[in-house]
A and B are shown apart, each in its own frame.
Chain A
Amino acid sequence: MIFLNQIIQGVLLGGYYALIACGLSFMFSVMRIINLAHGSLAILAAYALFELADRFDVSPFLGLVVVVPAMALVGAGLQRAVLERSARGGLLVPVLSTFGLSIVIDNLLFQQFGADTRSLAPYIGDLSYDSWSLTDDIAIGKLAALTMATAIVLLGGIQLFLNRTQFGRMIRATAEDADTVGLVGVNARRVNALAAAIAMATVAISGAFLAMRATFDPYAGALQLIFAFEASVIGGAGSLWGTLFGGIVLGVAQSLGASVSPQGFFIAGHVVFLVALFLRIYFGDFGPRLRRLARRPA
């Protein structure tokens, strides 16, 4: 029963990882760029929500109405100022420039807010600790369930947006071949700016959930980037539903690892990531294959 509980909690934790990985995965699939400032930007959004809640008594959910568009603007600006120029420089430059950017963001946050850890938990009332008890041993936290639901809605929404709308088609076409879409009248720069804006909007949402479910500090971004990256690699880079699958695998591994030893939480996550990487390299992309397997009736 305790074992089952570990798995259920791990799956729910996976919802958060899918949420934070969503933007990273989306950006990679559209622009072929891994944004190393991803985690730092999520923390930036978390601080913005904290400031709104702390100074102006704005509930974090209401705060998102301001912070999501603000982060979308940051995303479009980032695309214009940094990512676009980086992508032209080949494979190396985006890594170097976004890593530099993450150092700047982390340390500016530290300069502004100091080393204290913060959390949005005090501003969301009983949502932060309320749960539904299924049995004596198993309880499902309301916030964790909300996180999972948000992840599913967000991933599904982006999928629908990409598949069914004009803008979605433009984004996919630009990802395929930015030069050719120019010939048929698509402004590739504007499309990429829009894609970056969407990615950063999801980053704002994941920052909110990070801050509600746990504490954060100015340097917490690096670990969020690593979790996001692990989830998206386990799920098969660039695939949105794969990201949810990868997040759940990562969450379950960490949850089971934590039941072995306190350090086991992180170790198990990293080990599962490396195993997934190994399998992908020597046996092909296993995320899609497992998903096909899961769809097959037992």
Chain B
Amino acid sequence: MSASPVVVVERWTRESRVALAVAALAAVLLALGPLWLSANLVDRLTTLFVYVILAVMWNALVGYCGLVSIGQQAFFGLGAYFAVRLADSGLSVYPSLFVAAVIVGVLSLPLSAIMLRLRGGEFAIGMWVVSELAHLLVNLDTLINGETGTSLIALNAYEIGLRRALTYWCAFVAMVGLLAVVFVLLRGPTGAAIQAIRDNEQAAESIGVRVTRAKRTIFVLAAFGAGLAGALWVATAVTFQPKTYFSPQWTAYMIFMALVGGLGTFEGAILGAVVFFAIEAWFGAFGVWYLVGLGAAALVFALALPRGVWGWVEDKTALRLLPVGYRVKFLGAVGLAPNDPAS
């Protein structure tokens, strides 16, 4: 019998174990997708996977680093561009998607030296300028034909059904891989560091968190992820028109997904991507009004519910399906052991 209150620090709960099992089962079913799903559904799920990547990557940057970027379309567009460029220079199409993302990640490293010194709105628009510049520089490449654009012609080597399945699997592997990386990263020391930075940068620095290194890790990861998403997008859309890839509309989508799902919550970004996917399917045909709605939703959520739907659920219910933090549980009154039936 101990004399002090019994405190248990726990990470996994029964719900979260069930959630992980369900997620694993869903992953297995989705992995076999092209074998049992219709062609149309396979295409749409590929799109969903790209949205999940975008949402999770943007959410990691904003929700965990406290950096709002309006310029992630720079990496999205560059990922698509390098995929087209590499495929044109003879590299096999599907490996070039991943190599393109690596190049984007490497390019983001020197950029981080300037950009991570900016804060708030300055970082946001600074990134936007970077994406405009990237767009203009890509247009200078004669392969692209300016705004006319080009296509990922090398995809023609694959029969349509095989191409659909391969693109689906690439997107699936990319999504699961990036989700796993973010999940593991957030649970480890870097995760603790960046969440501390998000909550209070000065305080984090004062207790020895290497702020710059932690931020740079997430910045590069987010650039890599957005680059991969862009490369995957060009593999599904085939055509590469710089204007559509370097459009701030992509950032608007990312903001919507992360904000509605829940800034700074791991599950929220996935939820946001699914919600956005559904809304696009139902209301996408409304064109301009649909975009007005997205903007208005971002405005309202930012003002009224900045932690999004999932943040709200977490606050109300203390439910953590895929826990990246810890929680402290007080078991019963003073003097009761954890296993005491009275607690």
Chain A residues packing against B (C-beta within 8 Å): 28, 33-34, 36, 82, 85-86, 89, 91-97, 99-104, 106-108, 110-111, 222, 225-226, 229-230, 233, 237, 263, 266-267, 270-271, 273-274, 277-278, 281
Instruction: Answer whether A34 and B122 are a contact pair too, CB < 8 Å, given A97-B303, A104-B295.
Output: yes
Chain B residues with Cβ under 8 A from A229's Cβ?
A: 125, 129
Render B291-305 as a binary contact track against A, CB cut-off 8 A, 1 for contact.
110111111101100
For residue A261, give the distance in angstroms from its CB to the closest CB of chain B.
8
Which one of A82, A96, A274 lies within 8 Å of B68 (CB-CB)? Answer: A96
Interface contact A237-B302, CB-CB below 8 Å:
no
Chain A residues with Cβ under 8 A from B149's Cβ?
A: none
Interface contact B117-A97, CB-CB below 8 Å:
no
Interface contact A281-B299, CB-CB below 8 Å:
no
Interface segment, B136-144, B155-163, B221-229?
B136-144
Residue of A nearest to B68 (CB): A95
Interface contact A277-B136, CB-CB below 8 Å:
no
Question: How many CB-defined contacts (below 8 Å) exist between A and B?
Answer: 124
Chain A residues with Cβ under 8 A from B9's Cβ?
A: none
Which of A104, A237, A281 has the largest count of B CB atoms less than 10 A from its CB?
A104
Chain A residues with Cβ under 8 A from B126's Cβ?
A: 233, 277
Instruction: Answer whether A226 and B259 are a contact pair too, CB < 8 Å, given A34-B124, A110-B288.
Output: no
Chain A residues with Cβ under 8 A from B5's Cβ?
A: none
Cβ-based interface call for B342 (8 A): no
Chain A residues with Cβ under 8 A from B62's Cβ?
A: 92
Assembled-state Cα–Cα distance A76/B298 (Å): 21
Interface contact A99-B255, CB-CB below 8 Å:
yes
Which of B62, B292, B296, B302 has the largest count of A CB atoms less than 10 A from its CB?
B302
Interface contact A36-B124, CB-CB below 8 Å:
yes
For residue B96, give the distance in angstroms from its CB to the closest CB of chain A.
26
Cβ-based interface call for B114 (8 A): yes
Assembled-state Cα–Cα distance A115/B17 (Å): 52
Known: A91-B66, A267-B137. 19 other contacts (CB 8 A): A82-B303, A89-B306, A92-B62, A93-B306, A95-B124, A96-B68, A97-B302, A99-B70, A99-B255, A104-B299, A107-B292, A107-B295, A225-B125, A226-B125, A226-B132, A229-B129, A267-B133, A273-B129, A277-B126
Chain B residues with Cβ under 8 A from A233's Cβ?
A: 122, 126
Instruction: Answer whether A36 and B120 are a contact pair too, CB < 8 Å, given A100-B296, A263-B136.
Output: no
Chain A residues with Cβ under 8 A from B248's Cβ?
A: 222
Instruction: Answer whether A274 and B291 are a contact pair too, CB < 8 Å, given A95-B121, A266-B136.
Output: no
